[in-house]
Amino acid sequence: MNSIPVIFITARTDEASIEKAYEVGGVDYVTKPFKPKELFARVKTQLQLSTLIKELEASKRELKYLSEIDPMTKLYNRRYFNHVAKNMMQLAKRDESTLSVVMLDIDKFKEVNDTYGHDVGDEIIIALSDILLEMTRESDLVCRYGGEEFLLLLPETSLEGALVIAEKIRKKVALFVLSLENGHKVSVTLSSGVSEVDSIQDQTIEASIKKADIALYTAKSKGRDQVVPFSLSLIE
Ligand code: GH3
Ligand code: MG
Ligand code: MG
């Protein structure tokens, strides 16, 4: 949309001329001989309108941001993930490229909250979110899928590639220490389940997420702080 409103001043009052003025982008017209007060009033109205439109556009951008981003971690939220994942899956199918999902969950996080309080728990979630962003590519989708659960969607990444990334993240998180003011040091571990999107078998992204979730469950039951790939043997 044109950001400078144009008001036509014209001696023509026939319908076709007025229509033409609007057609070429005019927002209003004044006929000659014009009254200065009327012209000023019309200019003022247009300026007010233009300010309102700018405010509306800013609000729309803000709303879009709020609907896509988790306010605490600034990672994408689940809703946005599901939306983008669907498109990424279609693209991968079309280009016959690989796409992988990693589901990560903080181990025994309830204990962290119970021992150090919810605020410290929040700090840990934020710090881990930063690690996830730091360890992934610009083209990867990093999402806070639930309370202390994250999902990565990695385009052009095979199961093997995704396992390498998940393992690097696991190691980095295991080394991370949050130092509290009272001298206490808090650290956590992460468990991950990894699946490669099977463009034939997985009809929806939810099917691939489910596989990563099954692998994550296995990682938990095998003792946590580990990365497990999905394989059919896990559901047999
Ligand atoms: P597991 O190793 O099996 O994953 O154990 P867990 O304790 O991490 O799992 P559980 O699902 O029992 O507990 C998750 C905890 O995460 C409980 C919940 O209060 C906490 N949690 C979820 N979201 C937040 C959050 O935003 N901030 C904080 N501080 N805690 C959160
Ligand atoms: Mg957990
Ligand atoms: Mg959990």
Any atom of ligand 1 within 6 Å of the Cβ of 70: no
pLDDT digits (tens, 9 = 90+) for 151-162: 999 999 999 999
| 54 CA → ligand 1 middle, Å | 42
**Which DSSP string do the residues of the chain spell out, in sequence order?**
--SS-EEEEES--SHHHHHHHHHTTEEEEEESSPPHHHHHHHHHHHHHHHHHHHHHHHHHHHHHHHHHB-TTT-SB-HHHHHHHHHHHHHHHHHHT--EEEEEEEETTHHHHHHHH-HHHHHHHHHHHHHHHHHHS-TTSEEEEEETTEEEEEEET--HHHHHHHHHHHHHHHHH--EEPTTS-EE---EEEEEEE--TTT-SSHHHHHHHHHHHHHHHHHTTSS-EEE--GGGG-
| 46 CA → ligand 1 middle, Å | 53
List the catalytic residue out of 38, 111, 148, 236. Answer: 148
Q: Which domains does the chain have, with CATH numbers?
A: 6-68 (no CATH), 78-234 (3.30.70.270)
pLDDT digits (tens, 9 = 90+) for 42-80: 899 989 998 999 999 999 999 999 999 999 999 999 999
Which residues have CB less than 5 Å away from ligand 2 (the ion)? Answer: 105-106, 109
| 105 CA → ligand 3 middle, Å | 5
In this structure, which ligand is nearest to the CA of 151?
A: 3
pLDDT digits (tens, 9 = 90+) for 125-179: 999 999 999 999 999 999 999 999 999 999 999 999 999 999 999 999 999 999 9
Any atom of ligand 1 within 6 Å of the Cβ of 107: yes
Active site residue 57: no
Q: What is the pLDDT of residue 99?
A: 97
Any atom of ligand 1 within 6 Å of the Cβ of 222: no
